[in-house]
A and B are shown apart, each in its own frame.
Chain A
Amino acid sequence: MGRRQDTYDRRNRWLWIGLAAPGAIWLLVLFVAPFYVMLSVAGGSVNSFFQTAVPIWNPLQWSSANLTAVWHDIVGPGSFLGPPALRTVLYTAIATVISLAIAYPVAYFVSRYAGRRKTLFLVLLIAPFWVSYMMRMLAWIDLLQQGGFFNRALSFVGLPGNTDWLGGKSVTVIMGLVYGYIPYLILVLYAFLDRIDQSLIEAARDLGLSKWRTFWSVTVPLSKPAIIAGTFITVLPMLGDYFTNQLMSGAPSTTMIGNAIEGQLESPGQTGQGAVLALMLLVVLLIPMIYYVVSTARTSREMA
C-alpha cells in the first residue's frame, strides 16, 4: 500500500537521512572527490625536478598540456595509443559476444529446466565467485604453460604442442576475459530469466506456437532486459581491464587501454597524461553508464 508507506517514511525522514549519512559521506569523499582530483592532475603540470605530478585545483587554471599530449599520442604522428584503444574495443566485443553465447543457454537451462537440481547447478555456477580471480587465472596459466596440460594434450592427439600460449596471443587474452567475466553474466541472466512468468510461455504453446516460435516470439523479447543488463555489467568493467592481458600475455602486442593508462601513471612525469587517458575512458563509459543506471532505476520503480 503506497499510502501507508509514504506516511511512515515521511514521518521518520531524519532517521533515514541519519542512517544513510555515513555511507553517503564515504561515497562522496572516496568516490566522487577522487575524480575531481583526477581532473586537477589531468589539468595540472609536472614538477620537473622530481618528475611528479602537480595538481592544479582551480578549474579556471587548468592547463591543456596533458590533454594535447595524449591527443597526439592517439592521433598524432607518433601515436601509439590508437592500437590499444581499437584492440580494447575489439577484444571486449568478441569476448562479450562469446560470453553471451555461452551464458544464455546455461542460464536458460538452469532457470527453466533444472527442476529439483536447481540448487546444485546454482552452487556450481556460483562457485567461481568464491574462487578468487587470481586462482582462476593462475589455473589457466598453469594449464597453458609450455609444459602444461594443454600443450601436452595437443601433442597427444597429434597437433603441435609447443605453442607459447602465454606469450602474446589474442586468443588467450580473449579466453581469459571470457573466463573471468562470465560468472557475473550467468548470474545476472539467470536472475532475470528466472523471473519470466512460466505461464506466458505456456500460453504461447497453448495458442499453437511451436517450441522454436515460442522461443523467438516470446522468450527472447522477454529476455531483452536480461541481456541488456548482462551486457552492461560485462562490457563496462571489461573496457578498463588491464590485468587479464598482463596475466595471460604480458606482451605489448595485446595491450588494452587499461594497460596504457596504468603504464602512463607509473611512468615518472607522465602521471598527468595517465590521468587524462583515464578521464577519457571515463567519459566514453559515462554515457552508457548513465543510460544503464537510469533504466535500472526506472525498472525498479516500475516493479515497486
Chain B
Amino acid sequence: MSGGNVKLESLTKRFGDVVAVDDISVEIQPGEFFSLLGPSGCGKTTTLRMVAGFEPPTDGTILLDGVDVGNWGPNRRNVNTVFQSYALFPFLTVAENVAFGMKYKSVPKPEMKTRVAEALELVQLSGYENRRPNQLSGGQQQRVALARALVLRPSVLLLDEPLGALDAKLRRTLQVELGVLQKQVGITFLYVTHDQEEALTMSDRMAVMNHGRIVQLGTPEEVYNEPADAYVADFLGVSNLMDAQVERAGDGTSPCRLRLGDFILDAEAGQLDATGAVKLAIRPERIHVNPYETGGANRVPGMVERLVFLGSTTHVYVRLATGAALQTLVRNDGGELPYSQGTPVSVALPADALRVLPDPGVSVAEIRDETAGDQLLDLTGTSTS
C-alpha cells in the first residue's frame, strides 16, 4: 500500500491529572524519516503509542492517509511497531517470528516463505531463519524485529527507541544502516528517541518535545543551528548558555548589542529584537580560543580550566572573566595546543554564531537539569553566571 501520510491534529492524552501529550499537531509526509526527540517523560512515547493504537487519545484526531484511525485497534491499522525490547517471541524461530503477522493478512504459504526470505535479506540476516532469538546478539534481534514489521509492508513504521539497549559503537553503525534502509524501502519512519545524536543523524525532519508539547519542528540543521529557545538549544548538543542583558535591540540592519558581565558583544542570530534579560547560545565548534593578547571584536578574556582528550578531538573548558563556563573543541591534527590548564586566553564568540534566545525565566543550571542526557562531558559542574 502506498501512502504513509500521518496527520496529528490537536492530539491530547491525559492520564488522570497528568497531561502526557498536550495538543500537538504535526503532519508527516509519506516516505519521510521523522523523529520525535525529547527527554524521558516528554510525551514522545505516548504519542507513538497513540499512533500505533495502544492508547486511545483523550482528544484530537489521528489521520493515517486521511482516515481517522483514533478508535481503531492496533491490529487494524496499517502501521507496525519496532519495540524497545524487540518483543521477539522466544518460543519461535527467527523465520516464524518474521512470518507471524502474515497469517492475519491471509498470505498463502509459499508466498510467506519468499517474503520472509526477502525481509531477512533486507536486514542482512539471510540464513538465520532457524535460529532462536536467544541465540542472537542485541543488534541481530533488533534487525529481526525490523524484518518482522517490514515484511507486512506497512505504510508507516513506528520505532520506539530501538537502539537504546545497544552499546555505543553498534548504535552508531545501526543509525546509519537504518537511515539507508528507510530510503531503500521508502516507507514513512516515525522514530522516537531521547538521543539527539540519533535524531540528527537519521531524520529528514524532527520534532523536539518537552512536557507534552512540540517545542520546535524542523530539519536537523534548522533545529541545531537555529534553536527556537534555550531548552532546544541545550538539548541538541552543547549550547554554552549564558545570561546577558540587551543594550540595544537589533533591527533589520544592525545586530543586537548585549552586555555580558562587563563586556559588550554583538549577536547576529536568533531573536534580535528581544529586550531585557536574554539567554545567549553558541555552539562549541564556533568558539575560538586564542592567546590572551589577541584583539578583535566579540572577544572576552578567560582562562582554560580543563582539557579533556577524546581521541579525535580535545574538549577545552574555559571560564570567562564574567564567570560563565564554556565548552569548545579542537581537532587533534598533530600539532600541540598553544595553551594548557591555567593559561589565560582570549575567547572569540563570532557574532554570526552568537544566538539570542528568549529567557525562559529559569537559570542556566535548571535548564541543564531538564535537558540532562547525552551531552558532551561537563566537568565544570553547575557553576555558571
Spell out A's residues near B (CB within 8 Å). Answer: 3-4, 7-8
Contacts and interface: CB of A to CB of B under 8 A. Distances in A.
B54 A4 contact: yes
Chain B interface residue bracket vs A = under 10
A8 B49 CA distance: 12
Nearest to A8: B54
A3 B54 contact: no
A290 to B, nearest CB: 31
Contacts of A8: 54
8 contacts: A3-B15, A3-B46, A4-B49, A4-B54, A7-B54, A7-B55, A7-B56, A8-B54
Given A3-B15, A4-B49, A7-B56, 4 more contacts: A3-B46, A4-B54, A7-B54, A8-B54
Interface string B39-72: 0000000100100001110000000000000000
Contacts of B15: 3
Interface in B20-35: none
Contacts of A3: 15, 46
Contacts of A7: 54-56
Contacts of A4: 49, 54
Interface in B49-101: 49, 54-56
A77 B56 CA distance: 72
Nearest to A7: B55
A38 B49 CA distance: 53
Nearest to A11: B56
A269 to B, nearest CB: 60
A3 B56 CA distance: 12
A132 to B, nearest CB: 33
B21 to A, nearest CB: 12
Nearest to A2: B15
A7 B49 CA distance: 11
Contacts of B49: 4
A4 to B, nearest CB: 7
Give 7 closest A-B pairs by Cβ, nearest first. A7-B55, A3-B15, A7-B54, A4-B54, A8-B54, A4-B49, A7-B56
A102 B55 CA distance: 53
Nearest to A6: B15
Contacts of B46: 3
Contacts of B56: 7
- Residue with the greatest number of chain B CB neighbours at <10 A, chosen from A3, A4, A7: A3
A3 B55 CA distance: 10
Nearest to A1: B45
A221 B46 CA distance: 41
Contacts of B54: 4, 7-8
A256 B139 CA distance: 64
A247 B46 CA distance: 63
